[in-house]
Structure 1
Amino acid sequence: MKTLYSAKVTTEGGRKGRTTSDDGILDLQLSMPKSLGGEGGEHTNPEQLFAAGYSACFGSALEMIAKNANVDLGDYSVTVKIDLEQNDDKEMDLSAVIDVYIPEIEVEKGEDLINEAHEVCPYSRATRDNIDVTLNLLIDED
């Protein structure tokens, strides 16, 4: 396998710590969400960072699929919601909901594009059969 890019990030202090990339571009204070017993506040958390990466990556995969199909996505958007859940065994799990808005597209074509993007997106491939992922095409209501 040929490595195209490597990201290296170090976090000190876990969910209440600081996370920094080796190039200094990423330098963020983390905080524990109130729902997990933390103070909440103005700082990010691992689930938000994962959702940000997943939505950007999925959007790029969607662009590639659309380009190959000669489809104009217009002003599309990808929103990813990551849920941290506790299963019946009291273990922590993640799930994802991916909402894709593609204006002025036929539902069947939009669903095909989203499903194809889900097949090639590296985040989707990495999480396949590991977390529940729900794909949604958002449409304009007439």
Structure 2
Amino acid sequence: MKTEAWLFGGVAGFFLLTDAGYAWWSGREPAGTTALAVSFLMASVVSFFFTVNYRRRGLRPEDRKDSAIADRAGRLDFFPPHSAYPALTALGVALLAVGVVYGLWLFIMAVGILGAGVTGMVFEFVDRE
């Protein structure tokens, strides 16, 4: 992650220099200056994230020259075999979108269906180890 931190640090520096030049050249036009400042901040946050992760965890297997593909392989997670909750959630989202068009009554029903679907997906296997 050290390489990614340097990469996004460079992107942040580019946006900082571009923002300073744009603010000086455009006579402090607020929209472009603000957009470039926000771009600088977003790239800085990503660079900070990668730097902190690198300092906490060190080199990843793909960062080392002597690593093998098996070094990155890990345990696969649990995938639920049969569940009706994803379909119920999709129905809730579809009805929510249609409820915006047709009325508040359908929107409120869709919020309930969506809430039931999301709650079911979150807590379906909560007691599984």
Q: TM > 0.5 between the two?
A: no
For the aligned pair, the TM-score class normalised by the smaller chain equals under 0.3
The one of the two structures with greater contact order (alpha-carbon pairs below 8 A, sep at least 6) is: 2
Name the one with the larger strand percent: 1
Q: TM-score, normalised by structure 2?
A: 0.25
Name the one with the larger helix percent: 2
